[in-house]
Structure 1
């Protein structure tokens, strides 16, 4: 075994590890068919609070199956629990950013202060009732500190000045297009890999849930250069290493940084493709201080959309065409609101790739006997 992978969904990491020729041991909440196909061993960890790791079960599984000293790469789903990250690192070194670094970047007040120091636009935040009034009369969002995937975000009722729930914070809502920038950093320098456009898969309960991404895309003028420089400045100021992504909103009021993700994420589906070298390999090299002199330009665009179950269902036999990833096995029960699969497509532009992905998604839902409109996934 060469490496251990830990994420709520380890499939994108596992696919990149397979491209790089690594024998990987994966731990996630799904153990989907393709995750298992890409790894030497695939372990499903117990859930806690619906969609989070049971930390004790994860540590027990890691200690039982991974030798001490086996390096670990983390994906999404642990940023809200830096103590769990530290428990992992006690026995198995994390190849990526340290738990302390992640904790600082996920602290809304610390990130706001850093952005102010670097002159990066960042929507105002508050963690108590006294500061909530300072956010103004506009729309305000409540977010979980360290939350991932957008399902934790809610829009506050107008005029609500109560303090946020424990472990949450408030942030002024900014309107516009959601864009993400993927970087590769070695602690003292960074390279831009590419930018992608993101969208929501919203329903009445989850108005800001992550829906997918398409790219590469050009960052909008006249903001693109400043957005890239802001992302690079944060990476260098914090000494970040490996693959990192930063999320922005660009709208009538200009551009705003809204989140820093100091780990591998969902846009591996967009950028970990030929002719790009395996991104997990680049991540490991960057953690060791090595950056490539240059990176190839993708020959086509990619889109990946997450399909969520609009009702409880049981996966039928032979349900998945080749363009589907994150495939639960036949007979698996998928609960309402849970991710069902990811639909992928390519095209000469991001717009065409996304349109093809949406066509495929509608066809898949019809084949599964589901109504695309009722499922509220697009």
Structure 2
């Protein structure tokens, strides 16, 4: 075994590890069929509070299956639990950013202060009851500290001046187009791998829920250079290592950084493709201080979208199409609102990739017996 991979869904990491020739132990909440196919061993860890790790079960699984000292690479799902990250690191070294770095970057006040120091636009935030003039006439959203996937975000009622609940913060809502920059960092140097466009696929209970991503795309001409420069300055100021991503919102009035993700994430699905080398290999090299001068760009636009269960679902025995990732086993019970799988498509342009993705997603909805007339994700 070369390394262990830990994420809510470890499939993108396991696929990249297999592409790089690594034998990996994958620990996640789903143990999907393709995760198991890519990993040398794949184990489903118990869930807690919906879609979060049961920390004790995760540590027990890691202790039982991985020798002490086996390196670990983390994906999404632990940013709100830096103490759990520290428990992992006490036995198995984390190849990536430290729990202390994650704690700082997921502290909304610390990130706001860093952005102010660097001159990077960042929406106003507070962890206390807002004063009437804290956000002015702007909309306000409540976000979980360290939350991922957008399902935790809620829009506040106008005029609500109550304090956010414990573990949450308030942020001025900025509206516009959502972009993400994927960076490869080695402490004192960082390069941009590519930019992607993101969209939501909300429901009444989760209006900001993550929908999908497509890239590479060009950043808006008026803001792109400043966004790239801001992302690299944050990476260098924090001494970030490995693959990291930063999320932005761009409107007619300008741009804002809204999130820093100091770990591998969903954009592996669109950038871990030829002619790029395996991104997990680049991540490990960057953690060791080795960074290429540049990386090539995919020749097509790749897109990936999460399909959520519109009703309680028992996965049918019919074979899923080849363009489906995060493949659940036949007979798996998936509750309404939970992720079912990821649909993938590509094309010569963003528009063609998105159109192909919508067609394939609509067909899959029909296969699962969901409504096939859903509005395209925004």
Measured after TM superposition, the shift of residue 375 of structure 1 is 9.2
Measured after TM superposition, the shift of residue 338 of structure 1 is 0.6
Residue pairs, 1:195-344, within 5 angstroms = 195-344=195-344
2:40 aligned partner = 40
| 2:377 matches 1:356 | no
Q: Is the 8 A contact 1:5 1:24 kept in 2?
A: yes
Q: Is the 8 A contact 2:343 2:357 kept in 1?
A: yes
Q: What is the CA RMSD across the aligned residues, in angstroms?
A: 1.2
| Alpha carbons of structure 1 residues 277 and 172: separation in structure 2 relative to 1, 3 Å | same
Measured after TM superposition, the shift of residue 63 of structure 1 is 0.3
**Runs (4+) off by over 4 Å:** 130-133, 374-378
| 2:182 matches 1:182 | yes
Q: Is the 8 A contact 2:27 2:44 kept in 1?
A: yes
Inter-partner Cα distance in structure 2 for 1:168 and 1:239: 26
1:171 aligned partner = 171
Q: Is the 8 A contact 2:200 2:212 kept in 1?
A: yes
Measured after TM superposition, the shift of residue 366 of structure 1 is 1.0
| Alpha carbons of structure 1 residues 246 and 131: separation in structure 2 relative to 1, 3 Å | farther
TM-score, structure 1 as length reference: 0.98
SS in 2 for 1:134: coil
Inter-partner Cα distance in structure 2 for 1:232 and 1:321: 39
Measured after TM superposition, the shift of residue 370 of structure 1 is 1.3
Q: Is the 8 A contact 1:315 1:330 kept in 2?
A: yes
Inter-partner Cα distance in structure 1 for 2:30 and 2:217: 30
1:109 aligned partner = 109
Inter-partner Cα distance in structure 1 for 2:227 and 2:294: 20
Inter-partner Cα distance in structure 2 for 1:209 and 1:135: 23
Inter-partner Cα distance in structure 2 for 1:286 and 1:69: 19
TM-score, structure 2 as length reference: 0.98
Give the gaps of 5 or more residues in structure 1.
none
Inter-partner Cα distance in structure 1 for 2:132 and 2:89: 36
Q: Is the 8 A contact 1:308 1:375 kept in 2?
A: no
| 2:153 matches 1:157 | no
Inter-partner Cα distance in structure 1 for 2:377 and 2:223: 30
Q: How many pairs were matched up?
A: 378
Give the gaps of 5 or more residues in structure 2.
none
SS in 2 for 1:129: coil
